[in-house]
């Protein structure tokens, strides 16, 4: 029982760095879209996605990355980010003969799986969700 208690007390110290690492992908990608609008729009249009969608895509990635980093609304956010990873993999990373594209596809699948686990677990510590739930007391 003591080992389980110790493990559960470590959760908050693992949760925040894991969310920070996962958020990097979205923050860097969103900022990268804004830093290279024309080439990113050309890339999107090459795959049949209207270039004008760069703006909501960048906003979603930056906003989602910030929410993930701060641990706010983690459960619903994780479901949406898992969907985003699956969607972008299906649109942009299906040229599996190209090893880089295969790796990108698998990275997106792995991130989606991680987000589904995060959706189940939530943000138990060191985030706004953890602060709000501990303020309410035991459920």
Report the pLDDT value the prediction gives residue 52, as an integer from 0 to 100: 98
Task: Note whether residue 4 is domain-resident.
Answer: no
Task: With cut-offs at 50, 70 and 90, classify the pLDDT of residue 15.
Answer: confident
**Domain carrying residue 43:** 15-123
Report the pLDDT value the prediction gives residue 136, as an integer from 0 to 100: 55
Report the pLDDT value the prediction gives residue 16, as an integer from 0 to 100: 87
Report the pLDDT value the prediction gives residue 138, as an integer from 0 to 100: 47
Task: Note whether residue 51 is domain-resident.
Answer: yes
**Could you give the number of structural domains in the chain?**
1
Task: Note whether residue 71 is domain-resident.
Answer: yes
pLDDT (tens digit, 9 = 90+) per residue, 28-70?
999 999 999 999 999 999 999 999 999 999 999 999 999 999 9
Task: Note whether residue 92 is domain-resident.
Answer: yes
pTM over 0.75: yes
Please, what is the angle between helix 37-46 and helix 2-35, to 10°? 100
Task: Note whether residue 130 is domain-resident.
Answer: no
Proportion of the chain above pLDDT 70, given as a percent: 85
C-alpha 126/C-alpha 74 separation (Å) is: 12
Task: Note whether residue 118 is domain-resident.
Answer: yes
Averaged pLDDT for residues 135-139? 50
Q: Is 17 helix (H, G, I), strand (E, B) or coil?
A: helix
Task: Note whether residue 93 is domain-resident.
Answer: yes
Task: Note whether residue 66 is domain-resident.
Answer: yes
């Amino acid at each position: 029982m003591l080992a389980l208690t110790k493990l559960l007390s470590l959760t908050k110290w693992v949760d925040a760095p894991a969310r920070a690492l996962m958020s990097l992908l979205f923050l860097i990608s969103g900022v990268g879209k804004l830093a290279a609008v024309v080439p990113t729009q050309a890339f999107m249009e090459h795959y049949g996605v209207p270039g004008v969608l760069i703006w909501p895509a960048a906003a979603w990635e930056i906003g989602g990355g910030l929410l993930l980093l701060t641990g706010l609304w983690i459960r619903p956010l994780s479901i949406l980010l898992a969907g985003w990873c699956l969607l972008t993999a299906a649109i942009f990373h299906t040229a599996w003969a190209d090893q880089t594209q295969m790796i990108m596809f698998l990275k997106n699948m792995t991130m989606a799986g991680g987000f589904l686990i995060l959706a189940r677990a939530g943000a138990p510590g060191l985030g706004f969700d953890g602060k709000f739930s501990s303020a309410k007391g035991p459920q």
